[in-house]
């Protein structure tokens, strides 16, 4: 059975690479030591307590939350009609639009961040919060368009024509027939967009400024000056938060088939 | 425009964006309560014509009148025209009841009347017990019935059906065919029925319109188009399998070389076997239960003959005498 052992070893390695770092972070979070070390020599919950007392984390967590929620909503609000138009109408230059819309997925986020910085801070005279919101929305829009497009592709045009012939106008057809049938895709796009915004570092790095910062940026800054397990504890909380969030939406809406 | 026509298409030219015309200069009138079939092979423009009548496609030229009103540019949702799709196109997220209720809700029909009319429609198609099911929980035939109920419950001025039976198996198709005819009679509704199946068109229609390459080739009652085809295309579509150029066959069977006609044709049942002035060699013999179908090789081309099983005495390779009776011939143009 020599040949059957190889895939199992590879699978083990893959899991080790994927899950290993999380295990290290997870265990370190419960450390009783003063500095980040692995394995810890003693255990405690003190770093979880400390996370909650760091003011920069509290404020930036709130920023990240509203930023994530608002930019996701904005991206969906724009992305759904865009995806619908691309799927249903013969839009002139549809291919160009598609390439432009997906470019933030291909370009390095640092470049996008710099471009957005120039756009919002150097040219316009906008507030930091506004710049962040627009920057994140622009970043999330491609995710929204792509995922919603995928679920629209599975919806037959005849169904809309049927609604139309039964007396529904375009708007009624969209809200009563199209939207209920792409609900799962929209939810999946929303979850994906929110997580992307919440974890975003490169774009936020350029667009944050005095008084306004997101949680990942604050974590980076904190790590530059303090080398204690607080970050591990915070990371553990964030991982649990993400898992819970995804499980909940999967349970409620069954999104996994769209992503 | 003929004033008695309930639905009238005048000089209708249809095309998809930028493409060449799919339908060109079509004229068609349908009387109230009539069931007319648009029959033709795929690509003949029959579905496109139907979409234009429904308002899902804006004509490049020409007009559509319904009950005397010009509806050429009226949006589909204001036409009161019922549509049944080949794919059924039921709303996947709504129950049978809500699917049928959709058009009534759009018309703001009151709660009690709505429930009454939906259930009545479901009873008509025999699905009253399935009101709460989702489309995915119904069989193909049941989905078809829901689609039909959904279309006629709004009491449309016209009901359009696009190959509604083509996704059903043979037995169910025959059942639904009879069912459709019953419902049409019961409701007295004007219907336009799109199909590529001549058997279906013959069985269902008051009148058949045979289309080819975006134009009407011939129209008439089922008996007319079946018994008196005017062109080679219609003849072949209606099972006139023995088709010959008139100059080849006229002398052989003693037909007058009439001006304007190009072909002559005989149905396989019309071929006389066992006697006659023509000779053919049996290429193939196909047993069909009641009858036997022969494929004969003759000097002017192959001949298909259907012979009652008691008289089917010839075998492959044998030569037999046969005749193409001049009085059974259809003279065709083009």
> Is residue B163 a contact partner of residue B121, using CB atoms and an 8 Å limit?
no
- For A170, nearest residue in chain B (alpha carbons): B77
Q: How many residues does chain A have?
A: 259
Examine the fold and report which residue of B187, B206, B230 is the final residue of a domain before the chain moves on: B230
CA dist., res. A190 & res. A125, Å (int): 30
Contact B76 A158 (CB under 8 A): no
User: What φ, ψ does residue B129 adopt, rounded to 5°?
Assistant: -80, 0
Could you list the residue range(s) of the whole structural domain that residue B192 is in? 7-230
CA dist., res. B122 & res. B97, Å (int): 8
The answer to the question of residue B1 being in a domain is no
Chain A residues touching B85 at Cβ < 8 A = 158, 161-162
- For B81, nearest residue in chain A (alpha carbons): A165
- For B147, nearest residue in chain A (alpha carbons): A162
The answer to the question of residue B2 being in a domain is no
Examine the fold and report which residue of B180, B204, B230 is the final residue of a domain before the chain moves on: B230
CA of B46 vs chain A CAs: smallest distance (Å): 16
Chain A residues touching B90 at Cβ < 8 A = 159, 162
Helix axes A2-29, A230-253, angle to 10 degrees: 120
Helix axes A215-225, A230-253, angle to 10 degrees: 160
**What CATH number is attached to the domain comprising B304?**
2.40.50.140
Omega within 30 of 0 (cis) for the link into A39: yes
Q: pLDDT of B263-277, one tens digit each?
A: 999 999 999 998 888
> Is residue B123 a contact partner of residue A192, using CB atoms and an 8 Å limit?
no
Residue B2 vs residues B18, B27, B159, B259, B303: alpha-carbon distances, Å: 32, 11, 21, 31, 43
The answer to the question of residue B226 being in a domain is yes
CA dist., res. B3 & res. B9, Å (int): 12
* pLDDT value of position A124: 64
CA of A86 vs chain B CAs: smallest distance (Å): 16
In this prediction the pTM is 0.81
For residue B218, the Cα-to-chain-centroid distance in whole angstroms is 12
Mutate which: B47, B51, B77, vs A, most A CBs within 10 A: B77
CA dist., res. B298 & res. B283, Å (int): 10
**What CATH number is attached to the domain comprising B20?**
3.40.50.300
Residue A150 vs residues A159, B73, B151, B316: alpha-carbon distances, Å: 17, 33, 30, 58
> Is residue B270 a contact partner of residue B303, using CB atoms and an 8 Å limit?
no
CA of B93 vs chain A CAs: smallest distance (Å): 6
The dihedral formed by the CA atoms of B171, B177, B178 and B180, expressed in degrees to the nearest 10:
140
CA dist., res. A215 & res. A217, Å (int): 5
B325 pLDDT band (50/70/90 cuts)?
A: very high
Closest CA to B266 of B294, B235, B295, B297: B235
Could you say which of A90, A163, A169 has the minimum Cβ distance to residue B17?
A90
- Lowest model confidence (mean pLDDT) among A167-171, A204-208, B24-28, B90-94: A204-208
Could you list the residue range(s) of the whole structural domain that residue A127 is in? 51-258
CA dist., res. A77 & res. A193, Å (int): 12
The answer to the question of residue A31 being in a domain is no
Together in a domain, B162 and B297: no
* pLDDT value of position A2: 58
Interface residues from chain A to B (CB-CB < 8 Å): 90, 156, 158-159, 161-169, 172, 176-177, 180-181
Together in a domain, B25 and B137: yes
* pLDDT value of position A31: 85
Q: Is the pLDDT of residue B146 over 90?
A: yes
* pLDDT value of position A135: 84
Q: pLDDT of A67-123, one tens digit each?
A: 999 999 999 999 999 999 988 887 788 888 878 777 766 777 667 767 776 676 666
Q: What is the mean pLDDT of residues B196-223?
A: 94
Segment holding B321, helix H or strand E: strand B319-323
Together in a domain, B97 and B187: yes
Together in a domain, B204 and B321: no
Together in a domain, B273 and B143: no
> Is residue A194 a contact partner of residue A242, using CB atoms and an 8 Å limit?
no
Contact B76 A90 (CB under 8 A): no
Residue stretches of chain A with pLDDT short of 70: 1-3, 104-105, 109-110, 113, 117-118, 120-126, 254-259
Mutate which: A89, A152, A165, vs B, most B CBs within 10 A: A165
> Which residues in A118-208 belong to E strands, given as ranges?
none
Examine the fold and report which residue of B184, B208, B230 is the final residue of a domain before the chain moves on: B230
The answer to the question of residue A92 being in a domain is yes
Closest CA to B33 of B197, B209, B226, B191: B191
Q: What is the mean pLDDT of residues B118-132?
A: 94
B209 pLDDT band (50/70/90 cuts)?
A: very high
Chain A residues touching B83 at Cβ < 8 A = 161-162, 165
Contact A181 B92 (CB under 8 A): yes
For the record, the structure tokens of A208 come out as 């944050």
Together in a domain, B127 and B243: no
The answer to the question of residue A147 being in a domain is yes
The answer to the question of residue A14 being in a domain is no
* pLDDT value of position A122: 64
């Amino acid at each position: 059975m020599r040949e059957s052992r190889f895939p199992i070893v590879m699978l083990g390695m893959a899991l080790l690479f994927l899950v290993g770092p999380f295990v290290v972070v997870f265990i370190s979070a419960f450390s009783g030591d003063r500095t980040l070390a692995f394995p810890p020599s003693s255990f405690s919950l003190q770093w979880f307590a400390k996370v909650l007392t760091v003011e920069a984390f509290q404020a930036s967590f709130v920023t990240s939350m509203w930023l994530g929620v608002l930019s996701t909503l904005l991206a969906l609000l724009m992305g759904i009609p865009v995806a619908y138009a691309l799927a249903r109408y013969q839009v002139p230059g549809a291919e160009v639009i598609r390439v432009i819309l997906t470019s933030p997925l291909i370009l390095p986020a640092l470049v996008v961040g710099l471009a957005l910085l120039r756009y919002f801070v150097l040219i316009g005279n906008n507030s930091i919060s506004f710049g962040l919101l627009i920057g994140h929305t622009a970043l999330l829009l491609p995710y929204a368009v792509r995922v919603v497009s995928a679920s629209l592709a599975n919806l037959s045009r005849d169904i809309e024509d049927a609604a139309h012939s039964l007396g529904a106008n375009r708007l009624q057809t969209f809200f009563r027939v199209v939207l209920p049938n792409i609900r799962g895709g929209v939810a999946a796009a929303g979850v994906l967009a929110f997580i992307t915004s919440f974890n975003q570092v490169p774009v936020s790095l350029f667009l944050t400024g005095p008084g306004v910062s997101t949680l990942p940026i604050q974590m980076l800054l904190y790590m530059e000056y303090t080398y204690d397990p607080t970050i591990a504890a915070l990371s553990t909380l964030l991982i649990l938060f993400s898992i819970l969030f995804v499980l909940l939406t999967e349970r409620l809406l069954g999104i996994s088939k769209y992503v | 425009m003929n004033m008695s026509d309930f639905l009238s298409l005048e000089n209708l030219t249809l095309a998809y964006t930028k493409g060449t015309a799919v339908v060109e200069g079509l004229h068609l009138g349908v009387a109230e309560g009539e069931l007319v079939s648009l029959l033709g092979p795929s690509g003949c423009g029959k579905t496109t014509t139907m979409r234009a009548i429904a308002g899902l496609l804006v004509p490049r030229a020409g007009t559509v009148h319904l009950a005397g009103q010009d509806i050429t540019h009226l949006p589909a949702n204001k036409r009161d025209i019922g549509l049944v799709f080949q794919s059924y196109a039921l709303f996947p997220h709504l129950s049978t009841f809500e699917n049928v209720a959709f058009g009534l809700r759009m018309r703001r029909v009151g709660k009690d009347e709505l429930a009454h009319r939906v259930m009545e429609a479901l009873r008509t198609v025999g699905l009253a017990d399935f009101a709460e099911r989702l489309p995915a929980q119904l069989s193909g035939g049941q989905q078809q019935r829901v689609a039909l109920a959904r279309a006629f419950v709004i009491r449309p001025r016209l009901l359009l059906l696009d190959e509604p039976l083509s996704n059903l198996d043979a037995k169910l198709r025959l059942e639904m065919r009879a069912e459709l005819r019953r419902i049409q009679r019961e409701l007295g509704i004007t219907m336009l029925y799109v199909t590529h199946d001549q058997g279906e068109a013959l069985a269902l229609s008051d009148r058949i319109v045979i289309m080819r390459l975006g134009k009407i080739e011939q129209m008439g009652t089922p008996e007319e188009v079946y018994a008196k085809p005017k062109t080679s295309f219609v003849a072949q579509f209606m099972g006139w399998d023995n088709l010959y150029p008139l100059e080849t066959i006229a002398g052989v069977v003693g037909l007058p070389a009439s001006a304007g006609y190009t072909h002559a044709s005989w149905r396989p049942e019309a071929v006389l076997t066992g006697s006659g002035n023509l000779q053919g060699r049996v290429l193939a013999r196909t047993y069909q239960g009641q009858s036997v179908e022969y494929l004969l090789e003759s000097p002017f081309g192959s001949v298909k003959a259907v012979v009652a099983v008691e008289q089917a005495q010839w075998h492959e390779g044998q030569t037999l005498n046969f005749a193409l009776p001049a009085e059974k011939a259809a003279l065709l143009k083009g």
